[in-house]
Structure 1
């Protein structure tokens, strides 16, 4: 049996758009589920960056504001058994703006 694997990495600054795009990928794959062997979804840790900014430029050093940027990530592994091009199904998926997607085939 010729087993093939696809790795899809999704990144976004908003969790809701990441979740919706993940569901779109899964629905496109399940349309042709005869070639699908296994599908696994991995939630990666949230990457946080925190910035500290002084409110007052002159006297009050204790007055500060904190801002943070969170980056959410998911990896989807698809194992399939056919020589059919499942990559065409994935490349034709419409994603919302704000989603970074990379597809690798093994």
Structure 2
């Protein structure tokens, strides 16, 4: 259970850091969109990253892939794991894989 809490913290930090590149106003709009549409905080999308993808598409469309790649890069860096995949692959799948890897890591 503690490993999941640690992952949630790292995931949230990664999402917030990645969104910061868009500026505070866009980051806030994305956060509000997720809260209003899904009734959850942006950082709680770790179990269903598709919700994050939908929010990114709805708010920044063309910048979605850039933010997703940034999230993955930051997340894996914080986990201390070298990604063994191309960053442009399936975002949602890679987030869920990262969670599993982190929970197994000691």
TM-score range, shorter chain: 0.3 to 0.5
The answer to which structure has the higher strand fraction is 1
TM-score relative to the length of structure 2 = 0.38
Structure 1 or 2: more helix by fraction: 2
TM-score by length of 1: 0.38
Please say which structure displays the higher CA radius of gyration.
1
Pick 1 or 2: higher relative contact order, CA cutoff 8 A, min separation 6.
1
